[in-house]
Structure 1
Amino acid sequence: MNKAPLQILVVEDEPDQRELICQILASNQYQITSAESVEEAILSIKSSVPDLVFSDWKLGQLTGMDLLTYVRREHPDMGFIIATAYGTITHAVDAMQAGADDYLSKPYQRQSLLMAIDKVAKSLTLKQQNRRLASELSQQQELVGLVGKAPCMQKVYARVQRVSATDATVLIGGESGTGKELAARALYQLSSRQHKPFVAINCGAIPETLAESELFGAEKGAFTGANTLKIGKLEAANGGTIFLDEIGELPLLQQTKLLRFLQEGVISRLGQNGEIKLDVRVIAATHRNLKEEVEKGNFREDLFYRLNVVPIDMPPLRERKEDIGRLIEHFLKIHAGQYGVEAVKLSAETMKSLLDYPWPGNVRELSNRVERFVLLADEQELVAELASGLVAINPSQFVLPEAGFEWEAFEKDCLQQAMSRHEGNRTQAAKQLGLSYKAFLYRLEKYQLV
């Protein structure tokens, strides 16, 4: 496909000089329009915006600087070259400081004119490419749900952009609901593997007895019930990317086999004598502190360092409150499009309630509540849910027994009840008890309820 010729506006008040410049540029396949004054040039630009303006300095009552000022105000990306008379170098300096892309001192040769035009044309092409790439990246970020301009999110974007084009192993940390899988998908979609498989597996959702066959596959007859060859998740992701969510839940035996894959790039299916060479990028995620898990003996130290080549920490929503409004608008738009309904605007009072809420379930909870609002369009229910969060216990309703009581047994029972009521959902259980997610996990581990 042939590129459209560069459109150049020539502004020169001397007719013979203007005609000569237009002939030189037209003979080099540029598309030319001309004007003899600043006023005529502005009318021409308003009628048809050129790619580049080549203007003389002196133009009757006005100057090329007046035209440059207009162009930079109305069309900041338009190319601009100014021609100055011999001995007026200060004019050239003033023009460059005001935003001209280049200047020519009169008299100039045909070749100097063409070289200046070519240089600015190449600069314009680079600017357009940069704008397009920035726009594409912004669209890709929105596609994968990474929305936000808080400084902590900018660090996430910068790291994702920097390592997405590599095959480096990435470990994503953060509380539940912060968007760890979205970050993993951003790494995938911005990589050269974007047209290859993306396989996600939650290591905490696999029964320990099936973990090996799920990850590495199994030969027919490898165990009771293995009636056919089973392809594991790693093999299914060959050529692409595997996302190992909740990697901290992976049993120690499978940790050993995963370490071998990361070191050597080979796996063996359960019941297989040989090896299979794979090309898979590994991205892992966890809400656990893996360093602490290593110290407790629950996670292999060598595997931790193999996974933690590039760490990315997803910030909780309470640390990026300036993004809540932007996320609400994003989810209103996304869910309205998903269900084919018109996006309803929230009142200022409801927006304030949403902005003040602590969001223990992070971005996932926010998305869920906005989705429900899009479907029901009931602001009263939305605000009531936020306000109903915790029930404060009146101290006068509880009297410490004279003989005392077993605090730890009481605390453990509260934890068990909360987990049971919310069917094992730790985020919701922590919310009901008024605990931060980290404090709640600490207590679960203290009483061995994990």
Structure 2
Amino acid sequence: MSKINQPTAHQAGIPTSTAMSILVVEDDETQRELIVQILSQSHYQIDSADRVESAILKIKANPPDLVFSDWKLGQLTGMDLLNYVRREHPDMGFIIATAYGTITHAVDAMQAGADDYLTKPYQRQSLLLSIGKVFKALTLKRHNRSLSSQLSEQQALVGLVGKAACMQKVYDRLLRVGATDATVLIGGESGTGKELAARALHQLSRRQHKPFVAINCGAIPDALAEAELFGAEKGAFTGATERKIGKLEAAHQGTVFLDEIAELPLLQQTKLLRFLQEGSVSRLGQHGELTLDVRVIAASHKDLQQEVAQGRFREDLYYRLNVVPITMPPLRERQEDIGRLVEHFLGLHQRSYQVSAAKLSSKALKRLLDYPWPGNVRELANRMERFVLLGDEEELIDELSLSAAKSYGGASQLSTFSLPDAGIDWESFEKDCLAQALAKCEGNKTQAAKLLALSYKAFLYRLEKHNLN
């Protein structure tokens, strides 16, 4: 290796970091000292060894980020060291140096998992470039793993649990847009985990250490909506005895989650649209403006397009919010996840209350799987919490049976069905009936149509209407 002056790693544009540690394994003392000197000048943390045995001891004591090893090392070889590293430390970087004319050694090493190789004699710059390239790859790999682990941790913390295909689509979207500042609109029935998805997006973003402010737009009185969202100066209205910081201002540099956005009054929809367009707000009674850096995530269990068509929601605001849509699937469409969710919530509540619950019988598990879960994951979590506290499996089974009967009624009870004063969501009711009929008949459409007293053609039409094919 040449000793001529070459540019430093910084001058060559190669990333360096005092956090990056390298173990140099070379049995030639002169070569080893030269390599250590070059890498130390480039601000890497360096340790060295003269043979495989001592290198393994050093790795066990203090694992480096990367191993730079010669091929020939006394009785053992760099390949022996590589095999040990890949077996014990699969994510550790590894570069091997081979003698001129032994390209087969390099090929063998790459096939065994080496990240790069150099052929002797090599120049100083070649050494630094190789190390820089491997560190870039390691950094990218660690970053990707960090994103995945953050999502996994968020799932475990907030209940985003499941491996159904529909949930995998949700996870994929969360990963794709989590690290961006894109506005996201989350749809889905009540209890499907819309706020959990919003929190996952926040945790995956650069804003994860900044505020996450959640507000239920349906729970704010119309008269207070403006002050709640945008803030108010002292004396701006009767009872305003001090300055009030709005939710958007409180979320500066973080994320605001606007749940049940369809319930926001039209006047406030207009002001929210202006904020999304210009990034600034005015407190009620304020003459100037505040420029804010806030990521907006909105959610609604209602069909916002239908709300727009009926004049209850601004169309321009809808398109501003619907940059990236994410739909949380109802629990009845991810039946294969019910077992995982049951196990998750049982463990969660047992740890929370520091009690141990009896194991659910196969009869109870079957009833849990057959139940349509109109309250979705939230209902399942509540029922598992009650079971952990009371330990009464028979009560659990009876309540599920009673709830199903109250929600839908049997064929013999239809003539006495009484419409609730608050009405029902017919589309959801019809879809639930179709899904239950298919489940009871194990997918046999002819039998399911008979169960609902529908012609086969009418049954198929309704299946297609609700995307249940």
- Counterpart residue number, 1:362: 376
Q: Residue 237 of structure 1 aligns to which amino acid in structure 2?
A: A
Unaligned runs of 5+ in 2: 1-16, 41-45, 437-469
Tell me the distance in 2 between the aligned counterparts of 1:245 and 1:126. Answer: 35
- Secondary structure of the structure 2 residue equivalent to 1:6: strand
Matches within 5 A, 1:27-426: 27=37, 28=39, 30-35=46-51, 40=53, 44=57, 48=61, 50-51=63-64, 52=67, 54-56=69-71, 65=79, 68-106=82-120, 116=130, 119-120=133-134, 123-124=137-138, 126-217=140-231, 225-226=238-239, 228-229=241-242, 231=244, 233-234=246-247, 236-237=249-250, 239=252, 240-267=254-281, 272=285, 274=287, 276-279=289-292, 280-342=294-356, 346=360, 350-391=364-405, 413-416=418-421
Q: Residue 248 of structure 1 aligns to which amino acid in structure 2?
A: A
Tell me the distance in 2 between the aligned counterparts of 1:99 and 1:375. Answer: 52
Percent identity between the two aligned chains = 61
Q: Residue 182 of structure 1 aligns to which amino acid in structure 2?
A: L
- Give the 3 Å change call, closer, same or farther, for CA 31–221 of structure 1 in structure 2: closer
- Counterpart residue number, 1:443: none
Q: Displacement of 1:286 after TM fit?
A: 0.7
- Secondary structure of the structure 1 residue equivalent to 2:160: coil
Tell me the distance in 1 between the aligned counterparts of 2:118 and 2:186. Answer: 54
Tell me the distance in 2 between the aligned counterparts of 1:115 and 1:394. Answer: 73
Tell me the distance in 1 between the aligned counterparts of 2:249 and 2:141. Answer: 41
Q: Residue 416 of structure 1 aligns to which amino acid in structure 2?
A: D
- Secondary structure of the structure 2 residue equivalent to 1:358: coil
Q: Residue 33 of structure 1 aligns to which amino acid in structure 2?
A: A
Tell me the distance in 1 between the aligned counterparts of 2:307 and 2:435. Answer: 19
Tell me the distance in 1 between the aligned counterparts of 2:178 and 2:302. Answer: 24
Q: Is the 8 A contact 1:430 1:436 kept in 2?
A: no
- Give the 3 Å change call, closer, same or farther, for CA 356–78 of structure 1 in structure 2: farther
Give the TM-score of the pair, scaled to structure 2.
0.69
Tell me the distance in 2 between the aligned counterparts of 1:336 and 1:91. Answer: 56
Unaligned runs of 5+ in 1: 11-16, 401-409, 420-425, 438-450
Q: Residue 205 of structure 1 aligns to which amino acid in structure 2?
A: A
Q: CA RMSD in A?
A: 4.3
Give the TM-score of the pair, scaled to structure 1.
0.72
Q: Is the 8 A contact 1:8 1:53 kept in 2?
A: yes
Q: Displacement of 1:179 after TM fit?
A: 1.0
